[in-house]
Amino acid sequence: MRLLVVEDETLLAEQIREHLVQQQFSVDVAHDGADGWFKLSEYPYDLAIIDIGLPKMDGLSLIRKARQNEIKTPVIVLTARGSWQEKVEGLDAGADDYLTKPFHTEELLARINALIRRAAGQPDPMLHSGPVKLNSRTQQVWLGEDEVSLTAYEYKVLEYFMHNPNKVISKTELTEHIYDQDFDLDSNVIEVFVLRLRKKLDPEGELKPIETLRGRGYRFTMVVS
């Protein structure tokens, strides 16, 4: 999953970014509302974390502008301690959740995961697809009763597939969602990850969970429940 953090406190923004990167998220950072709007309007994010008190364009204006432009990215707003007015204004502007400063990074992570699952229509952290099970909270994957060992990026690709079953997903879309914005989008490394996933999830070649559509991308064909 690819996230955007819009926070003008440089130290806090870096702390959030480092924690989320450790949890296998790809994270872009903006330090003012104008840059936040540019990134939000140009790149596909699975969720944005936006502080209300931003220079150049405040967080509320940024969220309203995003919603007015049909950008449906889930948003968590960061508000000042005890300011219920900011919480209400943030939700009224189009935010989906809020978190009061200071906060524990574990709570932020829990809210991010819950909101991403809700946006995907999958409130349960455990996803099932045939014999494949994925726990988005613990980042574990099983094939039947056996746990499957995946690299960080193999897990990211599989998680994105399972959150988007039966959708045709281009290599570019996959790359944009699992890497930071400055990654080379022409890289063929996605093909390697998909090949490895096929071998690990379908060692006997019977399930065929990932379909290749020539010139279009991939489709995860097993039904997710």
More confident residue, 177 or 191: 191
- Given a cut of 60, whether residue 67 has pLDDT beyond it is yes
Confidence of residue 182 (pLDDT cuts 50, 70, 90): low
Residue-level pLDDT at 186: 54
- Please answer whether residues 37 and 66 qualify as being in contact, where contact means their C-beta atoms are separated by less than 8 angstroms: yes
- Given a cut of 80, whether residue 127 has pLDDT beyond it is yes
Phi-psi region of 73 (alpha: psi -120 to 50; beta: other; left: phi over 0): beta
Angstrom distance (rounded) from CA 171 to CA 174 = 5
- Given a cut of 70, whether residue 134 has pLDDT beyond it is yes
For tokens 């490394």, what's the residue?
Answer: 189
- Given a cut of 60, whether residue 96 has pLDDT beyond it is yes
Confidence of residue 130 (pLDDT cuts 50, 70, 90): confident
Strands, sheet with 2-6, edge to edge from the N-terminal-most edge strand:
26-30, 2-6, 47-51, 75-79, 97-100
Phi-psi region of 176 (alpha: psi -120 to 50; beta: other; left: phi over 0): alpha
- Given a cut of 70, whether residue 224 has pLDDT beyond it is no
pTM of the model: 0.69
Q: Identify any residues that bridge with 219 across adjacent strands, giving them in sequence order.
A: 211
Range name among 29-38, 81-90, 103-112 with the lowest pLDDT average: 81-90
Angstrom distance (rounded) from CA 85 to CA 149 = 46
Q: Which residues, other chains included, contact 39 with Cβ-Cβ below 8 Å and sequence gap of 6+? A: 4, 28, 30, 45, 181
Angstrom distance (rounded) from CA 59 to CA 79 = 10
Residue-level pLDDT at 82: 64
Range name among 5-14, 160-169, 186-195, 199-208 with the lowest pLDDT average: 186-195
